[in-house]
Amino acid sequence: MPADTFDFEEPIAVLLKEVEAMRLMPQTPDRRAAIGRLEARAEELRAEIYQHLDRWQRVLVARHPGRPFTLDYIERLFTEFTELAGDRRFGDDKAIITGLARFHGRPVVVMGHQKGGRDTKEKIFRNFGYAKPEGYRKALRVLKLAEKFQRPVMIFVDTPAAYPGIESEERGVAEAIALNLREMTVLDVPIVVLVCGEGGSGGALGLAIGDRVLMQEFAVYSVIPPEGCAAILWRDSKRKVEAAEALRLAAGDLLSLGLVDEIVKEPPGGAHSDHASAMALVDAALERHLSEIEAMTPAARLDARYAKFRAMGRLGQAYTDDAGQPARADDGSVSAAPERT
């Protein structure tokens, strides 16, 4: 199998290898028909396999090196992109991309994590998507520019976590992320977030506060990577498959918990198998949600964003106001949080 083929894709690889062998033979009408049947069967099998992935397999797909990165989305979905670099305090973090662009003719601000390219040199240059404090401060600087010039913000989340090295701690990574969380909740422009790959820990959350948080079908979003979870809970990172199940990090899990607003479908075989189709689906979802948000008044938009994040984590108890009293609707009834499983 090719190096980037997963074990669970082996039945597909066998069929495609047979197709490749048949293409090397003299082509006759019967052989071309047989090739067509094998290719159709491979596509059917791919769709069937990807409909029944377990959570660890979804983690593997989310990490696939062939998935579109932030710069791929910027190149295909936006025009007139101009990168803005540096946090004006320490330096420029290459793991986070920020800049000005146009989306369907609208002037917007676009940003996101960049894990790297398709080669090791580029991955090292981007620190494999592990952002440092200056990356989050750069993002906040550009977010403030978006607010000043009233430009909607489009964000692509794809990182294992924030960089945990000593220099990151020395420069205040926890404070940088916390400040972004606070400021993004009250930023007075529309914000649409897409978790497009691996949404890991506070490194993801530091860019993931928005009016709408979307998630691609085979992306993952979790408080910690499965390997780290297993190492902490069981002192054994090999129990990562078990940890992935416990973390409930798949798109369907996040939607059922109310942590994301919509799952953006991917082509059969994942976004890495068909960039054009995956980006068309993302483009349509971003356009639709941005149009809906822009139709809201600023006050209504901010109120909805506040309510959205305040409601997270409440499992069946009544909502309360800031004074700790039960929140009441206009008719005087107590507003209860939805039951979640």
Would you identify the CATH topology of the domain 59-308? 2-enoyl-CoA Hydratase; Chain A, domain 1 (3.90.226)
Total residues belonging to the chain: 341
Continuous H helices in the chain: 10-23, 29-51, 55-62, 70-77, 120-125, 133-148, 166-170, 173-185, 201-205, 226-234, 240-247, 251-256, 275-294, 298-310
How many Cβ atoms are within 10 Å of 3's Cβ, its own excluded?
Answer: 5
pLDDT tens across the length of the chain (341 residues) = 455 678 888 888 888 888 888 888 888 888 888 888 888 888 888 888 888 899 999 999 999 989 999 999 999 999 999 999 999 999 999 999 999 999 999 999 999 999 987 789 999 999 999 999 999 999 999 999 999 999 999 999 999 999 999 999 999 999 999 999 999 999 999 999 999 999 998 999 999 999 999 999 999 999 999 999 999 999 998 899 999 999 999 999 999 988 999 999 999 889 998 999 999 999 999 999 999 999 999 999 999 999 999 888 776 544 444 454 544 444 444 344 444 33
3-state secondary structure of 82: strand
Task: Return d(Cα 13, Cα 10) in angstroms, integer.
Answer: 5
Tokens encoding 78 = 């936006």
Q: Where are the domains positioned within the chain?
A: 59-308
- Let me know how many helices (H) and strands (E) the chain has, helices first: 14, 8
